[in-house]
Chain A
């Protein structure tokens, strides 16, 4: 099956700092999503981005499908950004599912 690797596994920031999270995947995909799992366990959709660049407030994401990676940028981080960030991808093949990476745990302190 497809391999999804996220880096770094852990990230500790001061409020106001910027960060870049990376997701590498091993096969061509037709779906790539970024999620934020908050401390209460909810999985919140951040981006649906199989290719290209999107921005939503302080967050933006870029997927370079030909090179099989995606980046999530968080600017001016806030304590509420803390949690686990997951990348999930689906291979471009019928009958395959959305597969998650192990996540990046972000801790933002004030």
Chain B
């Protein structure tokens, strides 16, 4: 158990819908990262927050948005969903902006 929690574990929804994925970092970690893992694209970095501020941005689509709240948990919103958004979404956290990252168990999203 890495100490990073993600909810929900599984999500099945339809195209055009909106979903929110939630992540709670390890106690004491200020940085949160989001990654998408699909079969054809591997593990892709989406976005990083550090202490509430956006720190780095990767291949995050305009249909996706994220934020880190004052209590340091983070949410990733995806809307409107497309079939290609089906993937495993990981959250990770680290103490500082560039230290060792620990990954949560992931949320498996299936878009039908």
Contact = CB atoms under 8 A, between A and B. Distances in A.
B100 A48 contact: yes
Determine the main DSSP class of B at the interface with A.
Answer: strand
Interface of B: 2, 33, 35, 42-43, 45, 48, 55-56, 58, 88, 90, 92, 97-103, 105-106, 108
A45 B2 contact: yes
A90 B106 contact: no
A65 interface: no
Interface residues of A, number: 21
Contacts of B42: 100, 102-103
B106 A45 contact: no
Nearest to B55: A95
A86 interface: yes
B105 A42 contact: yes
A97 B55 CA distance: 9
A62 interface: no
A1 B2 CA distance: 28
17 contacts: A31-B100, A31-B101, A33-B101, A35-B103, A41-B88, A41-B108, A42-B103, A42-B105, A45-B2, A48-B100, A95-B55, A98-B33, A98-B92, A100-B35, A100-B42, A100-B43, A103-B42
